[in-house]
Amino acid sequence: MSLSAKDKKTVKTFWAKISSNGETIGADALSRMLVVYPQTKTYFSHWKDLSPGSAPVKKHGATVMAGVADAVAKIDDLTSGLLSLSELHAFTLRVDPSNFKILSHSILVVLAIMFPTDFTPEVHVAMDKFLAAVARALSEKYR
């Protein structure tokens, strides 16, 4: 399920359209994830406020989407491009990799809400593949 040239082009084109909304997308995706999949809250016990749109959620949503933007730029070699992020997730954060899928799905739902005409089935499959590839790269250093 590796990214074809067509997938990469679709992702880059779509990303160019939506990247200015990165912070909003990230905030909404993270907010949703915490509400829809409450088990994910276990990673954020150090935050005072986990409610949708709260300050720590917004800030972290922006951080996450900046990482996704970085991944788009490094789409031709995600494994080496995301090496330090993988080390962070593996050794420091120790996020169970099953959660990457959950956050990816949450991002896709937000994209469907915010860009209903642009988020066609073709764009959906390319983005789903891309986020899965990002998740694989992030899992690289786990064991």
Partner 1 sequence: MVKWTDFECATIQDIFSKIDYDVVGPAALSRCLIVYPWTQRYFGGFGNLYKAAAITSNPKVAAHGKVVIAGLEKAVKNMDDIKTTYKDLSVLHSEKLQVDPDNFNLLADCLTVVVAGQMGAAFTPEGHAAFQKFLAVVVASLRKQYN
Judged by the rule CB under 8 A, the positions of this chain that interact with partner 1 are: 28, 31-32, 35-37, 52, 105, 108-110, 112-113, 116, 119-122, 124-125, 128
Based on CB atoms, which residue is closest to partner 1, 34 or 85?
Answer: 34
What is the smallest separation between the CB atom of 31 and partner 1, expressed in angstroms? Answer: 5
What is the smallest separation between the CB atom of 77 and partner 1, expressed in angstroms? Answer: 25
Instruction: Return the structure tokens found at 131.
Output: 């986020």
Based on CB atoms, which residue is closest to partner 1, 52 or 81?
Answer: 52
Based on CB atoms, which residue is closest to partner 1, 92 or 117?
Answer: 117
What is the smallest separation between the CB atom of 37 and partner 1, expressed in angstroms? Answer: 8
